[in-house]
Amino acid sequence: MTMLERYAIFVQTLLQKGLPMTLKLIGASLLFALLIGVVFGILRSFKLPVIDKILGLYAMICRGIPTIIFLLFFYAYFTTGTQFWIAVLAISLVEGAYMMEIVKGGLLSIDRGQWEAARSMSLPLTVTIVNIILPQVLLVTIPALMGQIVMLVKGTAVAATIGCMDVVRRAQLLLPKYSYPLEIYAYVLVIFFVMCHFLTWLGKKLEKTVVERIMGEVNV
Amino acid sequence: MRNISKKFGDLVVLDDVSLDVHEHDVIVLCGPSGGGKSTLLRTINGLEKINGGEIYFRGTKVDHKNLSSVRKHIGMVFQQFNLFNNLSVRDNLLIAPIKTQHKSKEEMLKKAMEELEIFGIAEKIDAYPHQLSGGQKQRVAIVRSLMMEPDLMLFDEPTSALDPEMIREVLDSMRRLSEMGMTMIIVTHEMGFAKEVASRVCFLENAKIRVNTDTKSFFENSQDERLNQFLSVILHH
């Protein structure tokens, strides 16, 4: 391959055509997954009998089956709807389940005594939640959520299976034209690695900021 | 001020229990575990609901409508301290007066420093709970309650989670409080402390108050057999 061809592959096809789709997949899936995670996570923390059982079932199913299976299932089931939204549905449901458990765990890890002390001082509920409970929940859930976000980013790669024109799919389509699969996939690898590593780095920075702002200095 | 309370069965945790508290009283609730002492204490500020009977605070009956405002006059100190972990000592102390009573920050800060000074932990004002020892945490908890200028303070086994060296400093702080005239109800196993500081002592067992009398009679003239059994075990450990 010539350098020009390499440029065409890497920059023009993969980056300029494929990456926007990948980013859209990530963006949409992340939004819905977080929504599901936060809302249902809070709901699960109340431990209401019926709702908790249903959500527990949801968690069990979505964490026990590979995302790609859901993807293929929905693709076969939905006769209308674009591949993009089917992929987003599958990924959000699965990642959302994990995030729900993370949020729930974070909320339940808050010692009951924090609530009792606030109640006994007649602190308004909003003040209690915003100033006392929420910061402590964030402290616990942000590291775990950042990890889950990286998993989500990696998970979007399955969308190529049903034809979404993301980085992975575009790379696959280039293979017949240029017989250097190793090199082409290497570019895909680099793209994902950069994204994930950036997120991990961001996560560590965020964690540090959160800890410092919420707990003063933590003497390790 | 009179805090008359009558509580009936909470399942079978409290069975027709009555207690009168007068201003400046220091009442100690003692007895074997599971006897109902902590539950009784927690019904006073509404952390436990009662199934029967009434609680009166300063002559007015306490119900779910006025519970919120009644709580502002009652302070509570917990066995597990329950300081807000994400807030500094300063913020722990200031959050309630500022957010509920809307007092000025400077005024409250000044008061906070004074109170911390009295209890010997003024230098810790910028520390976080995880940086404090158990005894220090409990003293901060005491000052945190004092910031609201309560009429009554409740203590739920305040020294039970402390190492022996730190129990002394917390008990001394509580003694100082009683000397300042605070009305206190204390659930504790520290009978030596009770003997020296309490004005009345109650013995609770199996959901009932068996003895409720002034300190002298409690320790010296007790007629109740179960109490004598209890005292002989606990005073000689």
Q: Is the pLDDT of residue A48 over 60?
A: yes
Between CA B65 and CA A141 the distance in angstroms is 36
Q: Is the pLDDT of residue A213 over 80?
A: no
Q: In the prediction, which pLDDT does A170 show?
A: 87
Residues in A touching B100 (Cβ below 8 Å): 121-124
CA distance B186 to chain A (A): 16
How close B24 gets to chain A, by Cα (Å)? Answer: 21
Least confident of A13-17, A105-109, B23-27, B137-141: A13-17
Quick one: pLDDT band at residue A220, thresholds 50, 70, 90?
very low
Encode chain B (237 residues) as per-residue pLDDT tens digits.
566 666 666 566 777 777 888 888 899 988 887 767 888 888 888 888 877 777 888 878 888 888 888 899 999 999 999 999 988 898 999 988 888 877 788 888 888 888 888 888 888 888 889 889 989 999 999 999 999 989 999 999 999 889 888 898 899 999 999 999 899 999 998 888 888 888 888 888 776 666 666 666 666 666 667 777 777 777 665
Angle subtended by helix axes A167-174 and A181-215, to nearest 10 = 170
Between A3-17, A184-198, B114-128, B192-206, the lowest mean confidence (pLDDT) is in: A3-17
Q: Percent of chain A scored above 70 by pLDDT?
A: 96
Query: Any idea what the Cα angle at residue B156 is, between residues B25 and B234, rounded to 5°?
Result: 85
> Taking the CB of residue B126, how many other CB atoms lie within 10 A of it?
11
**What's the pLDDT at B216?**
67
CATH of A3-215 given 1.10.3720.10, 1.20.1290.10, 1.10.287.130, 3.40.47.10: 1.10.3720.10
Per DSSP (E only), the strands in chain B are 2-7, 17-22, 26-30, 53-57, 60-61, 74-77, 152-156, 183-187, 200-205, 208-214
Size of interface A-B (CB pairs under 8 A): 74
Q: What angle do CA B34, B37, B39 make, to 5 degrees?
A: 85
Residue A136 Cα, gap to closest chain B Cα (Å)? 6
Average pLDDT over residues A128-149: 89
In chain B, where are the structural domains located?
11-83+151-234
* pLDDT at residue A127 is higher than 90: no
- Alpha carbon distance B48, A196 (integer Å): 49
Residues 6+ apart with CB under 8 A from B146: B75, B115
What DSSP assignment string belongs to B180-205?
A: TT-EEEEE-S-HHHHHHH-SEEEEEE
Q: How far is B195 from chain A (nearest CA, A)?
A: 28
Chain B residues closer than 8 Å to A111 by CB: 80, 82
Classify residue A6 by burial, with Cβ atoms within 10 Å: 0-12, 13-18, 19+.
middle
Q: Is A24 exposed, middle or buried, given 0-12, 13-18 or 19+ CB atoms closer than 10 A?
A: middle
Residue B91 to residue B109: CA distance in whole angstroms: 10
From chain A, the residues in CB contact with B83 under 8 A are: 117
Report pLDDT for A193.
93
CB B44 within 8 A of CB B55: yes
Ordered strands of the B74-77 beta sheet: B74-77, B152-156, B183-187, B26-30, B200-205, B208-214
pLDDT score at B211: 63
Q: Which whole number is the average pLDDT over A74-99?
A: 90
Q: What is the ipTM of this complex?
A: 0.87
A139: nearest CA in chain B? B86
User: Which residues pair with residue B187 across a beta bridge?
Assistant: B29, B156
Range with the lowest mean pLDDT among A178-187, A211-220, B202-211? Answer: A211-220
At B28, list the tokens: 């100690």
CA–CA separation, A104 and A93 (whole Å): 16
- Residue A205: alpha-carbon gap to chain centroid: 18
The H-or-E segment that residue A118 falls in is helix A112-120
Q: Which of A114, A131, A215 sits opposite B82 (nearest CB)?
A: A114
Model confidence at A102, in pLDDT bands (50, 70, 90)? very high
- Per-domain boundaries in chain A: 3-215
**Residue A8 pLDDT greater than 80, yes or no:** no
**Closest C-alpha among A78, A77, A86, A68 to residue A29:** A86
Q: Which residue has the tokens 């199996």?
A: B206
pLDDT value for B66: 86
pTM of the model: 0.80
CATH of domain B11-83+151-234: 3.40.50.300
How large is the average pLDDT for residues A33-56? 91
pLDDT of residue B222: 66
pLDDT value of residue A175: 83
- When CB atoms are compared, the residue of B86, B96, B144 closest to A215 is B86
E-state strands within B31-120 = 53-57, 60-61, 74-77
pLDDT band with cut points at 50, 70 and 90 for residue A219: very low
